[in-house]
Amino acid sequence: MIIAAEQLSPIFGAKISGFDLADDLTDETFEAIRQIWSKAGGLLVFHGQKLDIEAHIAFSRRFGPLFGEPGEASLQETVSRYIHPEHPEIYRVSNIVENGQPKGRKGAGTYWHSDVSFRETPAQASILYAHEVPEVGGDTLFADMSGAYEALSEAFKALLTPLYAWHDFEVAARRQYARPAVIEADMDGANRARHPVVRTNPQSERKSLFVNPGFTSHLYGFNADESATLLGQLYGHAARPEFSHRHRWRPGDVVIWDNRSVMHYAVCDYGEAPRYLERTTVISDRPL
C-alpha cells in the first residue's frame, strides 16, 4: 500500500490524508506509517479520525508498551485523577468540569517539555486524539530537537556530547501544580532521572538535544549559574521558529510525536472554550 504524506514545514512534520486509523492495519502498513513518522522527524498528523478508545489503544500499542497498561509503569501519581477510569492507558487533557469533577488535566503541558523525561525510561511516542477543541486557540507547538542539534556548530556539539542532565517532575510540580494537588510520593526520587544531553533516536539514528524547561532541573557537574546559562541558551535555540511547528487542532485530529526528538508546548489561551483530548504514551528505552 502506498501512503502519501505531505510535509508540514521545511524542517519537520508530515500529514497523512485519507487514512482511517481505526482499520485493521497490516504490519506492512503500520511499518510504512512509522517510517513516514520517523523520516518526518517524529511528528505526524492525521485529520478526520473516528477512533473509539479501544482502537486508540490498539493503534498506540503497536509502537510499544504503554504507560498505565497492566504490568507497565503508570504516569506520575499526581495525574492519576486524570487517567480514564476504565482505561488506565488513557491520560485525559481537558478544561471541562462534569458533576464537579475535572474531565481531564486543565492546562496540561503549558510549557516546553518532552513527556515523562523524568523517568529512567521516558516516553517514546505520544498519540493525542482531539475530541473537542476551541474554534480558535488551544494550539500545540512542537520543536524539532534533532534539527536544533544539527544546526549547532561542531564545537558546541562537541561540548554538549559528553554532558548529562537531571530531569525531575518536581520542576513542573513547583511551577505548574497547586501544592495540594501534588502527590508528595511523586517527589521521592521515582520521578527523577539523569539522561544524556544529546541522545540518539534508535529508529532514525539522528541525534537530538534532550533537555527541556518543563522537567530538566540542572546539568550534572555544573554549578547552578553555569547550568542555568547553558540550558537557557539551548532552550532559546531549540524554540526558534525555524525548528517549530504550530498545530491548530480540529476535532478528529490525531497527532503523534516522538518525545525522543521533539518537545511540545500546549498553548492555554482559550479561556472557557471546551477542550477535550485523550493521550496514550508509549514507553521508550533508556536514552543513549
Which position among 68, 88, 109, 122 is part of the footprint of ligand SIN (CB under 6 A)?
109
Contacts (CB under 6 A) with ligand SIN, residues 43-72 = none
The reply to whether 115 belongs to the active site is yes
Q: Give the span between the Cα atoms of 278 and 79, in whole angstroms.
A: 13
Catalytic residue among 113, 119, 245, 275: 113
Q: Which residues contact 109 (CB under 8 A, 6 or more apart)?
A: 93, 115, 140, 214, 264, 265, 266
Q: Give the span between the Cα atoms of 274 and 134, in whole angstroms.
A: 6
Q: Does position 282 bind ligand SIN by CB under 6 A?
A: no
Contact criterion met (CB below 8 Å) for 118 and 271: no
Contacts (CB under 6 A) with ligand SIN, residues 115-154 = 126, 128, 140
Q: Does position 75 bind ligand SIN by CB under 6 A?
A: no
Distances (CA, A) of 81 to 77, 95, 181, 227: 8, 14, 10, 34
Distances (CA, A) of 128 to 168, 249, 253, 255: 23, 11, 8, 5
Contact criterion met (CB below 8 Å) for 276 and 106: no
Q: Please give the size of the binding site for ligand SIN, defined by CB under 6 A.
A: 10
Q: Which is nearer to ligand SIN, 207 or 260 (CB)?
A: 260
Contacts (CB under 6 A) with ligand SIN, residues 256-275 = 264, 266
Q: Which is nearer to ligand SIN, 33 or 128 (CB)?
A: 128
Q: Please state the closest distance from residue 172 (CB atom) to ligand SIN, in A.
A: 10
Give the angle 53-127-6 at the CA atoms, nearest 5°: 120
Contacts (CB under 6 A) with ligand SIN, residues 197-256 = none
Q: Give the span between the Cα atoms of 72 and 78, in whole angstroms.
A: 17
Catalytic residue among 192, 247, 264, 275: 264
Catalytic residue among 92, 115, 247, 258: 115
Task: List residues near ligand SIN by CB under 6 A.
Answer: 93, 108-109, 126, 128, 140, 264, 266, 277, 279
Report, as residue numbers or ranges, the catalytic residues: 113, 115, 264, 279
